[in-house]
Amino acid sequence: MKKVFFLLLSLILIRSHSVSAQDSLLQKKQFRIAVFAPLYLDSAFDGNNNYRYEDAFPKFINPGLEFYEGIQMALDSLDSIGIPVEVFVYDTRSATQNLATQLIDAVGHHVELLIAHITGQELFQFARIAKENAIPLIDVNLPNDGGITGNPYFVILNSTLRTHCEEIYKYLQKYHSTDQMIVFRRKGKMEDMIQSYFDEYAKTTLSVPLRLKYIDLPADFKTNTLTNYLDSNRKTVCIAASLDTAFRTSLTRKLATLSESYHPLVIGMPTWDNIDFTDPALKGLEIVYSTPFYNSRTDKFSTAIVEKFNREKYANPSDMVVRGYETMWKFANLLVKYQSDIASNIANKEFNLIRSFDIQPVLNKTSLTLDYFENRKLYFVKWADGLVKEVN
């Protein structure tokens, strides 16, 4: 009940802040930042500002709200050290103001930085506005470029699938080059794309290319099908080259039943950071996957966030809270330090707080011009019998 109350209070504060911030031209500050998030304020409140859900709190509101709460905590920290920023908060699920109008409004307020929780359908609008107005756009969640090219103002924090595949390949070269490697996949366009990323990197690597054996599994594959490719006398690295959740579940559970006899190591995809590792059907299986957002929550900043969240909201913060905090902290500080030259310094490694972002330019292979910037820092995380730890 207390958690619902504090989440409701947060929504009310955002609702009032969203209006006052967008009308606060008289409170002119030096550095202006626009934050876009799916807050669903019009869904949460009726026309008379009455909360619609009583004691219940709908899960679809959580990601945007938690992202905003991290942003707000970072602003409190920035304020405590005298960083002068003015933030304009936009609800991308507003029923009264569409995204195009919101972006025009942000430009009209002369914002110098856009921080956004984006969907694939929204990406083009954000990227176009950023490029046309020379305003850096920080995409905090969407792990693809949406076909955007030639945009030096677009920054992807959640690394793309190509980057994950290239870094997985490097990881295998470094730690498992002498092991047997089987790439299990199902037939599909996404699976073909993953294979093409592996194959393309194999052609350019300066190290010895891996000997990957690709196996297409039928939808109803059996456990004994897998044993045909495992060796009880040596480690077999099983790469699950599919983003399909049903395939992942079936493959890992079947491999888990073979773990005692064959000891397979499973290399997962970037979507595996939300897997339920408490599933008893996975007992005995070793799984390694890549993520740009690993957080052991043992550093002083994460600990402080957890303690503050526990104390004030009677809840544990999700990763989206941490992501909101570190994103606002890093890029607000970069904006204040480099001011009008922030676009030229967007890849600077200063002000990394919790995770070590490694923002690098992505060049167009045809024209050799800059397409966008992307965070290429990935953490490899190993899970085995309930224990999770970083392995690189």
The owner of tokens 């491999």 is: 255
Do 327 and 363 belong to one domain?
A: yes
Do 166 and 306 belong to one domain?
A: no
Q: How far is residue 214's CA from residue 186's CA, in Å, rounded to a whole number?
A: 10
**Which pLDDT tens digit goes with each residue over 289-334?**
999 999 888 889 899 999 988 888 778 888 999 999 999 999 999 9
Do 135 and 29 belong to one domain?
A: yes
Number of structural domains found in the chain: 2
Say if 383 falls within a structural domain: no
Do 101 and 170 belong to one domain?
A: no
Long-range contacts (CB closer than 8 Å, 24 or more residues apart) made by 214-222: 214/183, 214/185, 214/241, 215/182, 215/183, 215/184, 215/185, 216/185, 216/186, 216/187, 217/184, 217/185, 217/186, 217/247, 217/251, 218/186, 219/186, 221/250, 221/254, 222/254
Do 231 and 333 belong to one domain?
A: no
| Residue after which a domain boundary falls, among 291, 311, 328 | 291
The per-residue pLDDT string of the chain (392 residues; one tens digit each, 9 = 90 and over) reads: 444 434 444 544 454 444 433 444 334 457 999 999 999 877 655 555 555 555 556 677 888 989 999 999 999 999 999 999 999 999 999 888 999 999 999 999 999 999 999 999 999 999 999 999 999 999 999 999 999 999 999 999 999 999 999 999 999 999 999 999 999 999 999 999 999 999 999 999 999 999 999 999 999 999 999 999 999 999 999 999 999 999 999 999 999 999 999 999 999 999 888 787 778 889 999 999 999 999 888 889 899 999 988 888 778 888 999 999 999 999 999 999 999 999 999 999 999 999 999 999 999 988 889 999 999 999 999 988 777 888 87
**Which pLDDT tens digit goes with each residue over 60-110?**
788 898 999 999 999 999 999 999 999 999 999 988 899 999 999 999 999
Predicted TM-score (pTM) above 0.95? no
Say if 193 falls within a structural domain: yes
Do 154 and 169 belong to one domain?
A: no
Do 251 and 114 belong to one domain?
A: no
Say if 391 falls within a structural domain: no
CATH number at residue 93: 3.40.50.2300
Do 256 and 360 belong to one domain?
A: no
Largest CA distance in the chain: 73
Say if 134 falls within a structural domain: yes
Print the domain residue range for 263.
161-291
